[in-house]
Amino acid sequence: MFKIEKPDDEIVEKVGTTVIADLVKISLSDDPSKFCIMPRKYTEKDLERVKNMEIFEDDIFVITFPKCGTTWTEEMVWMLNNNLDYETSKNVRLTARFPFLEWGGIIHHLDVDRIEELKNLPRPRHINTHLPIFMLPDQLWTVKPKVIYVTRNPKDAAVSWFHHHRHFHQYQGTKADFIEAFSKDLMFFSPMNRHVLDFWKIRDEPNILFLFFEDMKRNLEQEVKKTMKFLNKDYSQDQIDKLCTHLSFDSIKDNKTVNKNEELRRFVTSVGGNYDPSEYTFIRKGQVGGYKDELTVEENEMMDKYGNYAEFEEYGFEYKY
pLDDT at 111: 79
CA angle 205, 32, 16 (to 5 degrees): 100
Give, as one character, the DSSP assignment of residue 42.
H
Q: Is pLDDT above 80 for 30?
A: yes
pLDDT at 253: 75
Q: Is pLDDT above 60 for 303?
A: yes
- Chain centroid offset of residue 306 CA: 19
Q: Is pLDDT above 80 for 35?
A: yes
pLDDT at 281: 59
Candidate ranges 2-6, 304-308, 312-316; pick with highest mean pLDDT: 2-6
Candidate ranges 2-16, 240-254, 281-295, 302-316; pick with highest mean pLDDT: 2-16
Instruction: Specify whether the backbone of 98 is left (phi greater than 0), alpha (psi in -120 to 50) or beta.
Output: beta
pLDDT at 112: 82
Mean pLDDT on 287-312: 86
Mean pLDDT on 41-58: 94
Tell which residue, 61, 110, 53, 105, has the closest CA to residue 267: 110
pLDDT at 78: 98
Mean pLDDT on 213-235: 97
DSSP string, 214-254: HHHHH-HHHHHHHHHHHTT----HHHHHHHHHHTSHHHHHH
Calculate the alpha carbon distances from 7 to 28, 75, 193 in Å: 15, 36, 18
pLDDT at 257: 80
β-strand partners of 23: 39
pLDDT band at 251 (very low <50, low <70, confident <90, very high): confident
Q: Is pLDDT above 70 for 172?
A: yes
Edge to edge, what strands does the sheet with 23-28 contain?
Answer: 2-5, 23-28, 31-39
Residues whose CB is less than 8 angstroms from the CB of residue 244 and which lie 6 or more positions away in sequence, other chains included: 220, 221, 224
Q: Is pLDDT above 60 for 282?
A: no
Q: Is pLDDT above 80 for 252?
A: no
Mean pLDDT on 163-182: 91
Tens of pLDDT, residues 112-135:
898 999 998 999 999 999 999 999
pLDDT at 308: 61
Mapped onto helix, strand or coil, the DSSP state of residue 28 is strand
Full-model pTM = 0.93
Candidate ranges 83-92, 160-169, 285-294; pick with highest mean pLDDT: 83-92
pLDDT at 222: 98
β-strand partners of 252: none
Q: Is the dihedral of CA 95, 96, 102, 105 positive or negative?
A: positive
CATH superfamily ID and name for 2-314: P-loop containing nucleotide triphosphate hydrolases (3.40.50.300)
Task: Indicate which residues carry an active-site annotation.
Answer: 130
How far apart CA 241 and CA 225 sit, in angstroms, is 11
Mean pLDDT on 68-78: 95
Within 10 angstroms of residue 32's Cβ, the number of other Cβ atoms is 11
The CB-side HSE value for 318 (13 A sphere, CA atoms) comes to 4
